[in-house]
Chain A
Amino acid sequence: MFSYYLKLAWLSSKKTWGMSLLMVLAIGLGIGAAMTTVTVNYLMSANPIPEKSEQLYYVQLDSWEPTEPYFENGDPPEQLTYRDATALMQAKKATRQVIMSGMAAVIEPKNKDALPFMVGGRASSADFFPMFNVPFLFGSGWDAQADEKKELVVVINAELNERLFGGRDSTGETLRLAGKDFKISGVMARWNPKPKFYDITTGAFEDVEEVFVPFSLITEQFFDRSGNTNCWKPSESGFQAFLDSECIWTQVWVELPTAADRDAYQGFIDAYAAEQHKFGRFARQNNNKLSDVMTWLEQRQVVSDDASMMMAMALMFLAVCLLNTVGLLLAKFLGKASEIGVRQALGASRKDLFIQHLVESGVIGLAGGLLGLVFAWLGLSAIKAMYGDWIRDLAELDMNMILLAIALAIVSSILAGLYPTWRACQIQPSQQLKAQ
C-alpha cells in the first residue's frame, strides 16, 4: 500500500501544484534557515579530537591577583605564568605534557626571487604531536632531547611545504626562519581541528599554525611571541624578569589516561599551589582546574551566545513556516473531502486515510527538505562570504547534517500534517457523497 500512497501523494501534489509548491517553499525556507545555523552550531560545538578528548586536560592555576579573581565567576586564569608552566613540565607527572605559546617569525625562501614573508607559528614542546594525534605527510615531530638541547628544528604544515618545496618530502632540508636555519623534521598532513581546541585564547576557530618550533627556543628570543599576555604585577625590565614575572602567556596540556591519573594530577597541582602559597603567591590556593577538551570548550563558551541565539531564532522561523504549512495542508485536505468520502464508501478505514495523508505530508516534507538543503547551502555560502576564512570549515554541510535536514523536514511536515490529517479523517462520508 505504501507505493500506492506515494502515487496518490504525487497525483494530489500535481493537482494542487500551486499549494504544494507553497508548502515545499515554506518548509524549504524553514529548513534552510534552521540548517544554516544548526550546521554552524554543530561544527562549533563538535568534538575536535573525539578519540581522546577525555584524556587530555587543560591546566589552570590561580596565580592571579590576590584581591580580584581573573574571571568574574572566580574561575582561574586561562593561561599560566612561564615559571609555573615550566615547573609543571619539569615535574613530568603526566603521561604526556606540553607547554606552548603562539609565535611569529619571518621566513626567507631559498629562491632569491621570492620575498620573505611572515608566518604565524607555535612554540611547543615535543609531546604536542603525539598528544594531539597530529597527522604527518612526511617525517615526524621532534623529540624531548631536541627540546632540552634547544635544537633548531621545525615542523611545517602541508600548505607551507607546498609553497616552499612544491609538495615534495622536505624533511631534513633547512628552512630559513627568523634569521636562523631550522632543520625540517616533519611535514604535517592537512589538520585543522575546529574548534582549534589546543589554544582558544586568541580565537577558537583560527587555522592551525604554519610552523611549529621547540618552546625552549623562546628563551633565545629568535622570534616574537604572539598571543595574549596578561600581567597583574609590575615586573622589572629585561626578558629574564619577564619570564620570572606573574604575567600569564603560556598554556599547558597534560595527557591523563585514567580517572586515577587525573585525580593524582589534581593532587599534584593543588600541592604545587599550596607550596607556592607558602612563598606568598597563589592567594586562592585551591582554585586549580583540570578540564578535559569538551569541558574546557564549554567553559570558555566557544559556541557564542550570538550563534545560539541565531539558531533559536532560525528554529522559531521553522516553526512559523510549519504553522503556515499546517494551514495549507488543512485547506488542501479539506478540499479533498469528497474524495475522502468516496474512499470511505469504498472501504477505506480511518487508519487507511490517516496513513495516506501522512504519506502525502511526508512527501511534501521530503521535497521541502531537499529544497531546504539548497537554501542551507546558499545560507552557508553567504555566511562564508560575509565572515571570511575563519568560518570556512564551520560552514560546510556534512553527511550528518544532510541526513538531519531531510529527517527534520520529514518529521516536522508529518507533525504539521497530523492535525489536517485528523480533521480529514473526521469527514462524514454520507455528507460528502450527498453534497456531490
Chain B
Amino acid sequence: MLSMKHITKSFATDNVVTHALREINLDLAEGDFVSVTGPSGSGKTTFLNIAGLLESATAGEYWLDGEDISKLDDKGRSRMRNQKIGFIFQSFNLIPDLNLFDNVDVPLRYRGFNAAERKKRIEFHLEQVGLASRMKHLPSQLSGGQQQRVAIARALATSPRFLLADEPTGNLDSSMAQSVMALLEEINRAGTTILMVTHDNTLAAQAKRQIYIKDGRVQEITDNRNIHNLAVG
C-alpha cells in the first residue's frame, strides 16, 4: 500500500541546513492502522505531509498504491490526493462559508462526479457520522466534535484507500476524542488504511502499530496487535 525508502527532508536557509526527516523507511499494508508519536518538532507533521503528498521529500523513494510519487507532477499529485488519500486535521479545516453539504462536496467536485452521485455520497457519509440532519448548517453552528465528524465525512466521501489524520482529537475533549477514535477504528475495520499523528499515548496505543519519531528518525515501531493479543490472552 505505502512504501517509503530512505525518505529525507531538509530545509536550507542561507547558511543552515535543518534536517526534518532522516532516512525514514516504512511499509504500510492494506488495512493497517498506524499511529505516529513523538515530541514536538520531531518531524511527525512533516512525515505526514510527505505521506499525504502535501510536501515533497528531499531524497528517497515513495511508492503509494503502486505509483512512484517522485515521478508525478502537480496534476498527478492532486489526482492521488483526491482519489486515494483522505485528510483529517486537528483544526478540522472546514471551509467556513460553505454549509456541511458543500464542505463534503469539495473533494467530489474535483473528482468530477455528477450531481446525483455527489448527493448520494454526501448524504451517505454525513449519515455515517450522524450529521445528516444538519446538512444545511454552517460549520460555525456545530461543536468541535461535530466539526471533526464532518471533516471525517469529507475525508471519506471519495472512498480513499488511505486516511491521514493529524492530531484528529487534539482540539476535542476526552469523550469526543474517544467517539472520533471509535469512528476511525470502524473506518479501519471497513478496510481503509490509516496513518494518524498524535501526541496522546492512550489513543496511539489503540492503533494496530505505533511509530515513535524523534529528531527526524523512526526510533521505534511497536506492534500493538501482539500486545493486545497478549493482554487478551
Contacts and interface: CB of A to CB of B under 8 A. Distances in A.
Contacts of B97: 11-12, 14-15
A347 B107 contact: yes
A430 interface: yes
Given A346-B87, A346-B154, A347-B111, A339 B54 contact: no
Contacts of B74: 349-351
Contact of A345 (B54, B90, B109, B111): B54
Identify which of B90, B109, B111, B154 gathers the most chain A CB atoms within 10 Å of its CB: B109
A112 interface: no
User: Is the contact region of chain A dominated by helix, strand, or loop, or is it mixed?
Assistant: helix
A433 B46 CA distance: 12
B91 A339 contact: no
Contacts, number: 70
Given A352-B78, A433-B89, A347 B83 contact: yes
B3 to A, nearest CB: 21
Interface in B61-85: 74-75, 78-79, 81-83
Contact of B82 (A346, A433, A436): A346
Contacts of B95: 339, 342
B89 A347 contact: no
Contact of B107 (A14, A15, A346, A436): A346
Nearest to A341: B93
B49 interface: yes
Interface residues of B, number: 28
Contacts of A339: 95
B55 interface: yes
Given A4-B109, A15-B97, A433-B89, A348 B45 contact: no
A428 B55 contact: yes
Contacts of A343: 106, 110
Interface centre among A12, A344, A350, A351 (most CB of B within 10 A): A344
B198 interface: no
Contacts of B93: 338, 341-342, 345, 433, 436
A434 to B, nearest CB: 6
B170 to A, nearest CB: 11
Contact of B78 (A1, A11, A348): A348
A429 interface: yes
A342 B166 CA distance: 13
Interface string B181-205: 0000000000000000000000000
B52 interface: yes
13 contacts: A15-B97, A341-B93, A342-B93, A343-B106, A345-B52, A345-B54, A346-B82, A347-B81, A348-B78, A348-B110, A352-B78, A429-B54, A430-B49
Interface of B: 45, 49, 52, 54-55, 74-75, 78-79, 81-83, 87, 89-91, 93, 95, 97-98, 106-107, 109-111, 154, 158, 166
Given A342-B106, A347-B83, A349-B78, 4 more contacts: A346-B107, A347-B158, A430-B55, A433-B54
Interface of A: 1, 4, 11-12, 14-15, 338-339, 341-352, 428-430, 433-434, 436
Return the 3 tightest CB-CB contacts between A and B, nearest first: A347-B82, A349-B78, A347-B110
